[in-house]
Structure 1
Amino acid sequence: MTGQKKTTMEDVAKASGVSYSTVERVLNGRGGVAREKEARVLEWARKLKMNRQLDEVSVRWLRIAIVTQNPDAPYYVALRQGFELAQKTFETCRVTCHLTFFTDLDPRSLTSVIQRASEKADALIVVAYDHPRVIDAVARISRNIPVVTLATDLPGTGRLAYVGIDNRCAGRIAGELMGRFLGPEGGQTIVIAGLRSYLGHEERESAFRTVLRRRFPTCEVVATVENLEDERSTERLTRDALKKYPKLRGIYNLSVGEEGIARALRATKREQSTVFIGHELTDISRSLLLEGVMDAVLDQSPFVEAVRAVEVILQHYKRGTTSGLPLQTPISIYIQENLPPVS
């Protein structure tokens, strides 16, 4: 017999600086406790090695609000599937994910959507463009609940973390591939962005241009066009560019709409003579790679990003165990010859 004293609720209350009743409510999942106090109680209960399964404590449910654009684009479809998986995976941590999509790109409308989505939430995950109104709204929200930016960052908002690829690195890779594929002869290229006010898109474009200018001076970026993340407008923009620049030899699409670009290239019989680089490995981009219409695809695993973003929030609330996955997700480069098998 060691005579070692068993940790009690009174011990946890004293260490965490809250009342006994607060500890009792947290450990028995009775609710009515502020988020900060709940996290502190669970932290001290673990530190004091309280004799109970703290990871299975029936604490109140955490509601995560998720705001993204364009529910039909392949990237956002994969995100939605990732959040559905995260909710099932972390069910024992008592977390629910609520997705809200925005289609109106007016900053007033977007900030209203973000504010409404976050009103009854314990955390916010957001994919949004960089605008003073958006920055201000997210900054105000982050003072009350943890915010994770996904795919494109919003620096200066006080967000808890950014989960996604290094978009500058992605742009540099695209520039390197374009320069090498075009060869010494070089030629004219265009960039198709979704919204340049998405920081991630601006970073990709800027890095792409820098690499071509520095390492492949015979390659010239003659235009950047915005499709507003609308797949339907991508084909029209491509057709317009092909008419305006008859010597166009390269297209870097850092947004959506690969199928529309392919239709425009086929219509002008330039699908084999134009280097076409895009993002996200989907059924469509896989097919275009196999046909030789696309030359390379940069993939960032949105499915994994969604799960990791939820995990970051759970870590903040001291729930569950971390997978150890990095916040900066790796970039995979696919060409015709290294496509993974269809799952």
Structure 2
Amino acid sequence: MNSRRKTSMGDVAKAAGVSYATVERVLNGRGGVAREKESRVLEWARKLKIDRSLDEVSARWLRIAILMQKPTSPYYGSLKQGFELAQKSFEAYRVMCQLTFFDNLEPQTIAATLNRTSQKADGVIIVAHEHPVVVDAVSKVVLKIPVVTLASDLPGTGRLAYVGIDNRSAGRIAGELMGRFLGADGGQVLVIAGLRNFLGHEERDGAFRSVLRRRFPACEVVATVESRENAESTERLTRDAFRKYSGLRGIYNISVGDEGIAHALRALGRVQSTILIGHELTEISRSLLIEGVMDAVLDQSPFVEAVRSVEVILRHYNRGAPSGLPLQTPLSIYLQENLPPTA
């Protein structure tokens, strides 16, 4: 190609392996082009630096199906707000973020919801636990459209990307904090997971246990119990644990329900004698840190996760400019003394 002349639509057509008419339809926003060809045309138009603003190309609308739990807990509420922000931020790239909430966490329900919503979608973002039925459903969908896993990964499915924190690192940090807070005397420790089938929860639990076992042998993890992502159940689980384990001095809450644990600690007079470490800086966890009921909170910025996951789908279709945000979102550690100001 003669570098002294401008790139033409014919050059893009040849490089992308499509007709001139296809390139013309894509770059002039006339529609009627399959998403795979459209993506290829935009990719080569960028590579060849055709003389036009590709971000303003009026391509067809992309429909992204976002599947997650109902936003009844602060984390999922923040995720919902993050996706609403992403919808507004990326509107110029003609993307529609369509939120669908699971009726329950049964694998068959998740799979059926995924199968139904993916029929009319160009991409899927999903927060789901690892179960053979779910893995099988995702593995079939990825053969047609890209899937991004969020917060908890589903490896082996062929998903496009995982967006979220390093959950093993989070568990190791929680383990070190627990060990240091409990000190040389150690004590019994309870882990409260949402669902251990969430790979992220399993990774946090395993890494937490590993650090205590290796570096703080005076600390004994006596059990991992499941709240099933039900915030109300954590109070009952906490009360049951104190009845069963007389030496209980620490609780690591991997999932939702810090307020339920706090209710139990207050009622049992165990606030001052129990170390409580949890996840996500919310209005509830902030107030519990200030009160001294919680000792540390690990936060993973769900707003950033939501926006980044939508961007991954857009980049798959060669739309928009990369923000430079990492797929692995940063983890922040908050104690009573370093809480950020409220908005």
Q: TM-score range by the shorter chain?
A: over 0.9
DSSP-derived class of the 1:222 partner:
strand
Partners of 1:4 and 1:295 lie apart in 2 by 65
TM-score (norm 2): 0.97
Give the 5 Å matches for 1:200-279.
200-279=200-279
Give the 5 Å matches for 1:307-318.
307-318=307-318
Deviations 1:32-54 (A, max 9, x none): 21111001111222233322211
Q: Is the 1:70–1:229 Cα contact (8 Å) retained in structure 2?
A: no
TM-score (norm 1): 0.97
> Which stretch shows the higher mean deviation, 196-205 or 6-15?
6-15
Q: Aligned residue for 2:78?
A: 78
For structure 2, the residue ranges without an aligned partner over 5 or more in a row are: none
Partners of 2:264 and 2:245 lie apart in 1 by 14
Shift in alpha-carbon separation, 1:32–1:94, aligned structure 2, 3 A = same
Structure 1 vs Structure 2 CA RMSD: 1.4
Amino acid corresponding to residue 98 of structure 1 in structure 2: Q
Which portions of structure 1, spanning 4 or more consecutive aligned residues, are displaced by more than 6 angstroms? Answer: none
Give the superposition deviation at 1:4: 4.7
Partners of 1:256 and 1:177 lie apart in 2 by 19
Percent identity between the aligned chains?
73
DSSP-derived class of the 2:202 partner:
helix
Q: Is the 1:27–1:57 Cα contact (8 Å) retained in structure 2?
A: yes
Q: Aligned residue for 1:332?
A: 332
Partners of 2:113 and 2:100 lie apart in 1 by 8
Shift in alpha-carbon separation, 1:3–1:81, aligned structure 2, 3 A = closer
Q: Aligned residue for 1:171?
A: 171
Give the superposition deviation at 1:68: 0.7
Q: Aligned residue for 1:137?
A: 137
Partners of 1:46 and 1:341 lie apart in 2 by 42
Partners of 1:6 and 1:171 lie apart in 2 by 54
Deviations 1:62-102 (A, max 9, x none): 11111111311111111111111111111111111011111
Partners of 1:317 and 1:184 lie apart in 2 by 54
Give the superposition deviation at 1:223: 0.9
Q: Aligned residue for 2:36?
A: 36
Amino acid corresponding to residue 145 of structure 1 in structure 2: I
> Which stretch shows the higher mean deviation, 38-47 or 83-92?
38-47
Partners of 2:170 and 2:51 lie apart in 1 by 48
Q: Aligned residue for 1:25?
A: 25
Q: Aligned residue for 1:58?
A: 58
DSSP-derived class of the 2:32 partner:
coil
Partners of 1:268 and 1:323 lie apart in 2 by 49
